[in-house]
Amino acid sequence: MIINTPAYTVSDNIPLDENNEEFITAPAVYEPSEDTFLMLDVLELDLEQVISTRLSKTNKVVDSTAKCGPLLVVELGSGFGILTAAISKAFSDTLSSIAVGAHCIAIDMNPTACRKTIMTCKLNDVEVDAIRGDLLTWMRHPETSNVNNGSNKEVYGPIDILLFNPPYVRGPEGEQAPTPTVIDAKDKEANDRKLASIEDGAWLGGGPDGVDVLKRALHQAADLLSEYGVFYALMIDYNYNALVRDEMQARRDRTDQNIYHDDLNSVELTTFGSSPANRPLICTHILSRKVPGENLSVYRIYRPIDFN
């Protein structure tokens, strides 16, 4: 399967649509870079297989030729919207033989990024929705909605594919990542300060291991991924080391006798979500790349299929 790099433009002078003449350019948006393209390569490498071996299981159909889906795709911190545009486009062409389609939602706390994402998607002729929000805090929880899936109350979340190229860098003094908050248009000075902090801190993953933001996302993802859903997350080497270290610490603290499915390429994570012990996640290494000064990897995080 081929996932094409979508068209995008770094020029600021594009209105959102023909009815909107606004050219909002601040705060600046993180531009597509090596990490973005590594994520694209991972989708190309892994996604088709994940759809045919995992996501297609959700639709139990007699006819084995039936396509899977529709799938819900959510990208966190979408920035320019490259990943959302690429995956949305893939579903409308290369993946259309195995999936009926996908609904894509892009999230960013930066208002300019939300607009950029929509622009990039328009440029690639795909329709997505953008939401200004903080990770997955805006999403309905399985227990609060009434979904028509027969007698079984929905126990898993709705997200089939979650993408996150998080801010992953640690600050020299373990600085916190900027807190996403509403910007109140009335107080111009406070607004500018907040916008500047979003811009300045766009690379900060938070805490001594730069992993605070990713851990929050993991907590939410554990509850909101669908039964066979997958979460692709990019990490720098010390992010992953911190996750593994914390997992081992948690197991030691519990002094439990469980057998874990750890190996060289994957580790079982048992501390995320509202019922982590019943629903562990596996974090498997997919692809790494060395770029100047950084060793980046993308992991797929998912529930083991043979669980139960």
Interacting residue ranges for another protein, rule: CB under 8 A = 16, 18-20, 22, 59, 67, 69-70, 72, 100-101, 103, 105, 109, 111, 114-115, 118, 127, 129-134, 137-141, 144-149, 158, 179-183
Nearby residues of 154 by Cβ (< 8 Å), 6 or more positions away:
142, 143, 145, 147
Q: How far is CA 212 from the centre of its chain?
A: 15
Nearest-angstrom CA–CA distance, 302 and 265: 14
CB of 76 or CB of 183, closer to another protein: 183
Least CB distance from residue 146 to another protein, whole Å?
A: 5
Q: Please report which helix (H) or strand (E) contains residue 162, including its range.
A: strand 159-164
Least CB distance from residue 83 to another protein, whole Å?
A: 18
CB of 120 or CB of 270, closer to another protein: 120
CB of 182 or CB of 259, closer to another protein: 182
Least CB distance from residue 66 to another protein, whole Å?
A: 9
CB 127, CB 198: distance < 8 Å: no
Angle, CA 179 vertex, CA 222 and CA 204 arms, to 5°? 80
CB of 19 or CB of 64, closer to another protein: 19
CB of 33 or CB of 181, closer to another protein: 181
| AA letter at 60 | K
CB of 60 or CB of 252, closer to another protein: 60
CB of 161 or CB of 234, closer to another protein: 161
Least CB distance from residue 216 to another protein, whole Å?
A: 12
Nearest-angstrom CA–CA distance, 200 and 33: 17
Q: Name which of 157, 114, 160 is nearest 139 in CA terms.
A: 157
What single DSSP character describes residue 224? Answer: H
Least CB distance from residue 33 to another protein, whole Å?
A: 24
Cis-peptide into 6, omega within 30 deg: no
Least CB distance from residue 227 to another protein, whole Å?
A: 12
Nearest-angstrom CA–CA distance, 301 and 161: 10
Least CB distance from residue 280 to another protein, whole Å?
A: 24
CB 75, CB 93: distance < 8 Å: no
